[in-house]
Amino acid sequence: MGSGKRSLTTAAIALVCAVTVLSAPGTAFASASAPKPTPAPSSGTAASGGAADGGSTGDGSAKDSADGGSTDGSSAGAPPTTADDAETDARLEAVREKLDKLYHEAAVATDAYNAAEEKAESQSARIAELNRQIEAAKAKLSELQDRAGAAARAQYRGGTLPPEMQLWLSEDPQEFLEGAQLVRQGQQATVGLIDELKQTKSELGKLSRDASARYKKLEANRKTKAAAKKRVKKRIASAEKLQGELEEKEKERLAKLEEEAAQQAQTAWLDSGVLKDLDTKASAAGRKAVTYATDQIGKPYVWGAEGPDSYDCSGLTSQAWLAAGHAIPRTSQEQWKQLPHVALGDMRPGDLIIYFDDASHVAMYLGDGKIVHAPRPGRTVTITGAGTMPILGVVRPDA
C-alpha cells in the first residue's frame, strides 16, 4: 500500500476513535436500572458540604451539577501540575471545608429561626383566640351579675313575712301553695345562677392565666428567633467574606473542586447499588409536589423564605406538598420527626430526603438518583444528585 493511502487510512481510523469517545454517555447520573450490585447503605456516604453546595452550580442544570466538567476542556479532577498548584488546591480545599461548615451552621440556625417563627405565629393565633374567649366570658359574667342582682332584689321585696304566716293570712290557700312552688323554683334558679356565676369567674381566671403564659412563651420564641437570625447572618457574612478574599481564578478552581467532590459522592452512592430494583412510580400527590418543586428551578435561595419568589430548603418542600394538598411541618427537622419514614430502597418521586445527622437539609427525590432542592445562600433551586450529601433518611408526606 502506498504511503499516501496509508496516511488516509490512519487519519480515518483516528477520526472514528475520536467520534466514539466524544459520543460516549456520561456516568455522573448512572442509570437506575444498572448500578453495580453491591449492598445499599443505610445512609448515603457523600462528600461534606451538601447543604452548603449541593454539588450544583446553581443554574438548574442536572448535567452541569453532576458531571464536574470544565468549560475549557480540562477535567475538574485533573491533578495539579506543579508544587504551587498542589499548594493552591490544598488551601482551596481547606476553604471549601470551612465554607461547608459555615453554610451548614447557617442552615441549622435557619431551621431554628423557622421553628421559632412558626411557634410565634401559633402562639399569636392562640392568644388572639384566648382574648376573644376572655371578652365573651366578661360579657357573660356581667350579664350573670345583673341577673343575680335582680333576683336578690326580688327576694328581698317578697320576704317580709315567714311562709306560715302568709299561708294563715291567705284567702286562697291553693293560690298560695302554687305561688310557693314558683318561689321554690325561683330559689333553685337563683342557686343555679350563682353556680354559673362562680363557674364563669373560674373560667375567666383560667383563660387569663393561659393568655399570660402564652405571652411569656411568645416573648421567648421571639428572642429565640432574633438570636437565630443573628447567627444566620453572621455565618453567611463570614462565608461571603471568605469567598470575597479569593481571586477570580481561585473561585473558578474552588467551584471545580466542589463539583469534583459532588461527582465522586454521587458516583459512590450510585455504585453502592442503592437504586437497584427501585420502584420509581410516584403517587398522584407526589407528582403534583414534584411539578411544583421543579417549576421553582432557577429561583434564589433565601433563608427563611417559602415562596413564591425565593425559598430555603424546607420552604421549598413544605410549599410543594402544600400545593399537592398535604400540609407538612415547616422545617426539615420537624419533617424528619413528624412524617412517616420509609426505607431508602423504597423511595419514590415526591418523597423527601433528609440530610446530615442533625436533619438540617431536605430535598425532594425526582427519580433516577436525582433531587431538586434549594442548596444554600448564593445558589438557586436546582437539580443535582441525591447522593451528593450524607443521607439521614427518607420521609413520605402522603404515606
Question: Does 104 participate in catalysis according to the annotation?
Answer: no
Quick check: 292 pLDDT over 80? yes
Q: In terms of pLDDT, which residue wins out, 349 or 85?
A: 349
Predicted local confidence at residue 185, as pLDDT: 53
Start-to-end Cα distance in the chain: 72
Q: Which of 17, 104, 313, 341 is catalytic?
A: 313
H helix runs in 82-172, sequence order: 83-157, 163-169
Tell me whether residue 361 is one of the annotated catalytic residues. yes
**What digits encode the pLDDT tens for the residues 314-331?**
999 999 999 999 999 999
Cα–Cα distance measured from residue 367 to residue 385, given in angstroms and rounded to the nearest whole number = 10
What digits encode the pLDDT tens for the residues 22-66?
A: 333 333 333 333 333 333 333 333 333 444 443 333 333 333 333
Query: Which residues, listed in sequence order, are joined to residue 372 by a DSSP beta bridge?
Result: 364, 383
Per the annotation, the verdict on 373 as an active-site residue is yes
Please give the DSSP secondary-structure letter assigned to residue 41: P
Read off the pLDDT of each residue in 165-186 and give the average, rounded to a whole number.
Answer: 53
Give pTM, 2 decimals.
0.57
Is residue 52 within 8 A of residue 102, CB to CB? The reply is: yes
Q: Which amino acid is at 144?
A: L
Res 230 pLDDT > 60: yes
pLDDT of residue 118: 81
Which whole number is the average pLDDT over 102-107? 83
Mean pLDDT of 3-25: 37
Q: Provide, rounded to the nearest whole percent, the portion of the chain with pLDDT above 90.
A: 27
Could you tell me if residue 236 is left (phi over 0), alpha (psi between -120 and 50 degrees) or otherwise beta?
Answer: alpha
What is the chain's mean pLDDT, rounded? 73
What 308-316 contacts at long range (C-beta under 8 Å, 24+ apart), as own/partner pairs, is 311/374, 311/381, 312/110, 312/114, 312/374, 313/51, 313/107, 313/361, 313/362, 313/363, 313/373, 313/374, 313/375, 314/111, 314/114, 314/362, 315/114, 315/374, 316/364, 316/372, 316/373, 316/374, 316/381
